[in-house]
Structure 1
Amino acid sequence: MSISFSINLFSQEENKSSKSIIGEITVSGNTSFSPITIITYSGLREGDEISIPGEKISSAIKKLWESNLFSSVEVFRVKQLDNIVDLEIKLIDLPELTKLEISGVKKRKHEDIIKENKLQIGVKVTENLITTTKNYLENKYKKKGFLNTKVNILTEEIIDSTNKSKVKISLDINKGSKIKIKKIVFDGIDNLSSKSLQKSMKNTKKSKIYRFWKRSKYIEDDFKEDLVSLVDKYKENGFRDARIISDTIVTYDENSITLKIKLQEGEKYTFGKINYLGNSVYTDEQLDQILKVKEGDTYNGVELEKRIADDSDPDSDDLSNLYQNSGYLFSSVTPVEVSADGNVIDLEIRINEGKPAYFNKVSVVGNDKTNDHVIYREIRTRPGQLYSKSNVIRTIRELGQLGFFDAQLISPDFKNVNPNDGTVDLEYTVVERGSSQIELQGGYGGGGFIGTLGLSFNNFAVKDLFNKEAYNPVPMGDGQKLSLRLQASRFYTQNSFSFTEPWLGGKKPVQFSVQLSQTKQFLFNPVTYKADKSKSFNISGISVGLAKRLTVPDDYFTLAQYIGFQYYNLNDYNTGLFTFGNGSSNNLSYTVSLSRNNT
């Protein structure tokens, strides 16, 4: 079946436009929509004054066409008496998808194909839908290494008693074999070896017998990325003018290709004199320690960029961060090549320091559940404080580590930036995410049914336990952690409860935690396959801990101390698991640990 689309513009006998009054409007053609619906949607009304041809007729055709419901839209003048004109709107509905058959891929992939291409039953089938589906699927599998993917889409008209225009789509995907890279050939290289260039291509590798754990298929996006890496490899070795002349794919056989890459290396350069302009806060010697480039060094454009401003690492030790972490929000560092005579590049590092910046107002938006004080106590940027990029970044990380917000969506927004006064407002935007878990499961194991109930609340609010209005479904927002877990079978029961307050007293980051546990187990009788309840052991325990964030050597260190007590009670439980089978025993423990976490 073929689907055609056409617009028949309003025809006329006269060469000049004339004013007419719409008389009767009728609807014809093959459409399931009522005439009233069509006429209303078109915007044409009986008694309206129109020009022939004119804007109203064109607008009506455009609206009907852009509804994406019709394959043909035509408007005719069927009768005219004096200045009264009767119009006919002739339409043909777009066919609906009534059946879809997919072949060439596994059945479990069908649902994804339907969702990704909007091929649900009942959708209007257009040439655009068919074309975009074909292109999408071919590109999708080509990106996965199936370069010879062919998608064939056939439509077949379905006739039933409803008289609606319907079609069946047969979608066949022929992925073919994955195309592997047999060879990578470089042309125009004299200074770097083919081996070193291939090593710099992290994603595009040629196939080798022994490389069965690494892919060697051709992925276009990965290859384009590796071409950039090739140029960077040259820049790292002094060839700042190196470039790719061409890249060509040559078919080696039906399952493999050869990649031919033609390069122009250019001349090799070294660093010459390096002068700093505009620096008053730091001396040339201090800046040299960060730049780490000396006269006579092989020119390395990639490393130079990182030493000026490494966009890939917000914590990098570069010149821009040196100023940004010292309050100079408005600073800029720009390297300028002032000479390249004799392949020796002289540089000027032009620095615009600007005024030191101070935070004027610091705020948080987006916290619908978490109370403000829980967030503000983690923020390391305070009103009146000197700006520091590192403090902004650390705040973002530590807010993400709370587990209450989507770490990827936390963003700092600078507002009311005033370089003249040296002030800036900072607004952190957060997006709440679910911080509670409920575990309810059952299963068969160890000779019987095991049931488990677990509740975990990572943003609990103990102070609102007796506030009915705070239950939604439980009191939340104070950053406390509370968990309860119960597990039981016919052989044992195991219960635990824990509570953590990360800021004991609310003034300093001193974490208080308490944990209670109780385990009771009966001896298994191998004769009856039942639990012998006259023989058992019972362990009850409690643990209390304090963990304090230190300031020396730095505030990434935490000192934690825990005191634990366990009570053992055994009743004729002689299995060798314990050193005794009857009676009771106590165990008191003290644990101290020192840790550092700067991630």
Structure 2
Amino acid sequence: MEKLANNLTNRLKNTSLGLFLIPVLLFAQVAIAQPTSLESSKEYILGGIEVTGLQSYNEQTVKTYTGLRVGQPIRVPGEELSGIIKKLWNLDLFSDIAFYHYIEGDKVFLQLQITERPTLSDITVYGVKQKKVQGILDDTDLKKGKKLTKSLIANSKGYLENKYRKQGYLNTQVSIATAPDTVGTNSEKMVINVKKGEKVKIDEIEFVGNEKLSDKRLKKSLKKTKQKKFYRFWKKSKYIEDDYQEDLDNLIDTYAERGYRDARVVSDTFVQVNENNIKLKIEVEEGDKYYFGDINFVGNTVYTDRELAQVLGVKKGDTYNGVLLKKRIADNSKPDAIDLTNLYQNNGYLFSQINPVEISAVNDTIDFEIRIIEGKETFLDHVTVNGNDKTNDHVVFRELRTRPGQKYSKENIVRSVRELGQLGFFDAEQIVPDIQNPNPDAGTVDINYNLVEAGSSQIELQGGFGGGGFIGTLGLSFNNFSIQNLFNKEAYKPVPMGDGQTFALRLQGSRTFRVYSLDFSEPWLNGKKPVRFNLSFSRTQQFLANFSNTGRIEVNKDRSFSITGVSTGLAKRVQWPDDFFTVSHSLGYQYYDFNEYNLGLFNFGNGSANSITYTFGLSRSSQGPNRIFPMSGSNFELTAKFTPPYSLFSNKDYGAITDRVEELTDTARERTLTTQEVNELENLEEERFKWLEFYKVKFKGDWYTNLVGKLVLRTNAEFGFLGNYNNNIGDVPFERFFVGGDGLGNFTLDGRDVIQLRGYDNSSLAFTSFNPSTRSTDREGGTIYNKFSLELRYPLTLKPSASIYVQSFLEAGNAFNNFQEFNPFQLKRSAGVGLRIFMPAFGLLGIDFGYGFDDDNINPGVKSGWQTHFIIGQQF
């Protein structure tokens, strides 16, 4: 203002008015608030313009932005100056804008006085966890460099209070203060203090006006809004506004399911009991109870009235159920639901429309018309995929149930999503079928499957205790291998990939054993049909281990037992009873070699045995869509393993051989056998088991039930039996069932199955047997086992980088020596909790804490108690 006054004085010295002429100051705000007629304004030549009050902006920049230039004609007062002020205000950079002017002849001189808004230089938030601060700043758009305004502060305060009140913190108080920052120019610091207090709980829920449905029934319908009870653990009694509003809709649905279609909530209020408790009062108007009358179908030509009525499942005289009626028309909660919409869409009628219409309501009976516009039959025009950067197109397309030219089928799309998810090459949570270019007139539609590649190769690291010590596994598993590019150098990235084959190399071992294996499988033999070909080689070595006087395990690698095996198999997906079934066949050969090695299971320490097996398998797998965390469906497998009945074609007197073995065994219990007797015993045992003969039947079933949200119940049942053809030979000393522990001890030494039963030591539900050669007691597995388990699973995250879920479990199982001892209800029980983490590069990692309620078979009379099990490796 001082500069303006000086300029004014200098210019007025030479005018005739002299010092009697005083400056006329007009604020822009007044000019806008009190419009002046164009007749009272006058046009001048702009003699000069000056900008004052700037702190961080360049004066010339502001002048340029106004669009004013010296020498131009301008009307004062006028719309041009008002427009400039509005333009500057819209920048939201200034808190005050005013024009001053004085006139000299036909010229006008302007001064633009500006007050800049302060800049936010720093934000500090109190009362919130540090990891959530950034989310608050993002939501409120508070960031360094932001211009501070009163509305920004007020909006931020209101947003935060509403945010936490919606989460149940009804007493939330937010204060925001600013202070000048001496470090920067025209900048201010901000401090946000959030006082959430405790979540407000519901002390009581009171219903008014309900006569037909009890308070208990109505409270049960409020799924997420519960009043305080000392016994309630799973569902809290905290008041959450969004959940409460959703539950009011559930309340009306509860009435609608029981025939009260006119029921409504008249009012809902809450009364503050104290600072942390409220009382909800819900007044309802129930109305009358209604029943279904006549239900007629109109417009249907593809399906008869009878067929549609069967799917609808609603009959005349049934209690009116509006919720059920909607679900039977179109159940949006299940993509594969049995409803009328899916009935049409699974048969090509994508553009069909089905609308239930009330045509009359007489007394308590409502008549309906189900009006159907079937539309034109729809066919698939183009089917495309994208996102499969590593996996070749033919691997994806062969799993699709949708082909160009086929009828549109929602069922086939859902099944295609499941099959792609089961491959394990893509993130199952992000497989999205995109319906494109629908053309009702032409009856065509396109489908594009959006895929996100997931890690399919794994470095397998597995660990557990068993077999005489810590068992470690190191392996490379390439689950999307391409053998045809094995000699193509350009395909190594780092290995040939993309054809969906599996190639695995595995080394497993401890101080007492080693296992080497190689596996290859092709899921589509010749690339035309879903016939899986499998070829595997393996070799295992077991070294003799004994406890020394100090209690340590001493391993003698000069005394060993080894198995060399090869197997090949074919598995074909069949169409009956449905196309979830697979039939498999495999042939295997194992060579057992003993080198001064004795265990209780087999009494010959030197020699060899042979086994040729045929395995038939029948399985059905409909679990999905995510193979890591299935949420629905089931998976069961029945296998039967046989060897030829060699003894039927032999002249050997196996009865005499077995009698002599038992005689020598009884002698060994009384005294140490002579060298000659030991040699005789070993020769008899080798002769008895030179060619192994047995049959082995196993069943395993898993069922997945989606309870609520992503909470899943896994139900499991297992059974196994090992039998023989000739009682004079008895059960073979291999292929036994070892129950108990983490299930990781299955180093396939002798074809054994190690069955997981948490809460017990590894293989502790086995038995002991007397070894007459060494007069020692050794552990052997059972010939029969059964197991049942229930698991509640809940995912914490299902991202491609890591899938994590928690679980609680109840398990029961046991192993038995023979059918005479078998009792399916004589089970060892356990319970516990666990955590699973799946990372594509390393497989499944986990930990379980299990409590065994009973004693095991090795230490009778001693309750197992708490056991910790570490799970490392690829297991589902």
Task: Return the TM-score normalized by structure 1.
Answer: 0.81
Aligned partner of residue 311 in structure 1, secondary structure: coil
Change (3 A) 1:59 1:579: farther
- Alignment of 1:429 with 2:449, yes or no, is yes
1:411 maps to a residue whose letter is P
Q: Is the 8 A contact 1:30 1:93 kept in 2?
A: no
Q: Which residue does the alignment assign to 2:119?
A: 95
- Alignment of 1:364 with 2:374, yes or no, is no
Which range moved further: 487-496 or 313-322?
Answer: 487-496
**Which residue, out of 395, 420, 433, partners 1:411?**
433
Change (3 A) 1:512 1:193: same
Q: Which residue does the alignment assign to 1:343?
A: 364
Counterpart-to-counterpart distance in 1, 2:462 and 2:620: 39
* 1:161-197 C-alpha deviation (Å, 9 max, x unpaired): xx42333333322222222212111111111111111
Q: CA deviation at 1:426?
A: 1.8
Aligned partner of residue 190 in structure 2, secondary structure: strand
Structure 1 unaligned spans of 5+? 1-6
Q: Is the 8 A contact 1:369 1:432 kept in 2?
A: no
Q: Which residue does the alignment assign to 1:153?
A: 176
Aligned partner of residue 204 in structure 1, secondary structure: coil
1:410 maps to a residue whose letter is V
- Alignment of 1:286 with 2:289, yes or no, is no
Change (3 A) 1:515 1:114: farther
1:178 maps to a residue whose letter is K
Aligned partner of residue 230 in structure 1, secondary structure: helix
Q: Which residue does the alignment assign to 2:421?
A: 400
2:370 maps to a residue whose letter is I
What count of residue pairs does the alignment treat as equivalent?
Answer: 585
Q: Is the 8 A contact 2:204 2:280 kept in 1?
A: yes
1:313 maps to a residue whose letter is K
Q: Is the 8 A contact 1:273 1:346 kept in 2?
A: yes
Change (3 A) 1:256 1:482: farther
Q: CA deviation at 1:331?
A: 2.8
CA RMSD of superposed structures (Å): 4.4
Q: Is the 8 A contact 1:96 1:165 kept in 2?
A: no
Q: CA deviation at 1:18?
A: 6.9
1:380 maps to a residue whose letter is R
1:425 maps to a residue whose letter is V
Counterpart-to-counterpart distance in 1, 2:475 and 2:61: 56
Q: CA deviation at 1:454?
A: 5.8
- Alignment of 1:268 with 2:289, yes or no, is yes
Counterpart-to-counterpart distance in 1, 2:615 and 2:174: 65
Counterpart-to-counterpart distance in 1, 2:164 and 2:214: 33
Counterpart-to-counterpart distance in 2, 1:475 and 1:18: 84
- Alignment of 1:553 with 2:577, yes or no, is yes
Counterpart-to-counterpart distance in 2, 1:531 and 1:400: 48
Counterpart-to-counterpart distance in 2, 1:347 and 1:324: 23
Change (3 A) 1:549 1:258: same
1:145 maps to a residue whose letter is G
Equivalent residue runs for 1:61-76 within 5 Å: 70-72=93-95, 74=97, 76=99
Q: Which residue does the alignment assign to 2:335?
A: 314
Q: CA deviation at 1:215?
A: 1.2
Q: Is the 8 A contact 1:365 1:427 kept in 2?
A: no
Q: Which residue does the alignment assign to 2:788?
A: none
Q: CA deviation at 1:579?
A: 7.2
- Alignment of 1:176 with 2:197, yes or no, is yes
Q: Is the 8 A contact 1:25 1:89 kept in 2?
A: no
Equivalent residue runs for 1:33-432 within 5 Å: 33-35=57-59, 42=65, 44=67, 46=69, 70-72=93-95, 74=97, 76=99, 88=112, 90-98=114-122, 100=124, 102-110=125-133, 112-114=135-137, 117=140, 125-160=148-183, 163-406=184-427, 407-419=429-441, 421=442, 423-432=443-452
Q: CA deviation at 1:471?
A: 4.5
Counterpart-to-counterpart distance in 2, 1:114 and 1:536: 69
Q: CA deviation at 1:412?
A: 3.2
2:432 maps to a residue whose letter is I
Which range moved further: 263-272 or 109-118?
Answer: 109-118
Q: CA deviation at 1:334?
A: 2.3
Which range moved further: 428-437 or 298-307?
Answer: 428-437
Q: Which residue does the alignment assign to 1:3?
A: none
Aligned partner of residue 257 in structure 1, secondary structure: strand
Q: CA deviation at 1:310?
A: 2.0
Q: Is the 8 A contact 2:413 2:433 kept in 1?
A: no
* 1:228-264 C-alpha deviation (Å, 9 max, x unpaired): 1111111111111111111111122332221111111
Change (3 A) 1:533 1:123: farther
Q: Is the 8 A contact 1:338 1:347 kept in 2?
A: yes
Larger radius of gyration: 2
Q: CA deviation at 1:444?
A: 13
* 1:44-101 C-alpha deviation (Å, 9 max, x unpaired): 4756958567787677666665566x3536364667775676664735253233352x
Q: CA deviation at 1:553?
A: 1.6
Change (3 A) 1:109 1:393: closer
2:335 maps to a residue whose letter is P
Q: CA deviation at 1:392?
A: 2.7
Counterpart-to-counterpart distance in 1, 2:73 and 2:607: 104
Q: Which residue does the alignment assign to 1:507?
A: 528
Q: Which residue does the alignment assign to 2:11?
A: none
Change (3 A) 1:509 1:64: farther
Change (3 A) 1:67 1:578: farther
Change (3 A) 1:319 1:451: closer
Counterpart-to-counterpart distance in 2, 1:487 and 1:532: 17
Q: Is the 8 A contact 2:460 2:477 kept in 1?
A: no
Structure 2 unaligned spans of 5+? 1-26, 624-876
Q: Is the 8 A contact 1:435 1:459 kept in 2?
A: no
Which range moved further: 299-308 or 26-35?
Answer: 26-35
2:358 maps to a residue whose letter is E
Q: CA deviation at 1:267?
A: 1.3
1:304 maps to a residue whose letter is L
Change (3 A) 1:329 1:578: same
Counterpart-to-counterpart distance in 2, 1:219 and 1:72: 39
Q: Which residue does the alignment assign to 1:4?
A: none
2:452 maps to a residue whose letter is E
Aligned partner of residue 157 in structure 2, secondary structure: helix
Identity between Structure 1 and Structure 2 (%): 48
Q: Is the 8 A contact 1:10 1:75 kept in 2?
A: no
**Which residue, out of 607, 620, 627, partners 1:596?**
620
Which range moved further: 458-467 or 43-52?
Answer: 43-52
Aligned partner of residue 296 in structure 1, secondary structure: coil
Counterpart-to-counterpart distance in 2, 1:106 and 1:435: 34
Q: Is the 8 A contact 1:404 1:435 kept in 2?
A: yes
Counterpart-to-counterpart distance in 2, 1:351 and 1:334: 7
Counterpart-to-counterpart distance in 1, 2:471 and 2:143: 42
2:392 maps to a residue whose letter is N
Which range moved further: 482-491 or 25-34?
Answer: 482-491
Counterpart-to-counterpart distance in 2, 1:591 and 1:564: 8
1:561 maps to a residue whose letter is H
Q: CA deviation at 1:265?
A: 0.7
Counterpart-to-counterpart distance in 2, 1:85 and 1:572: 115
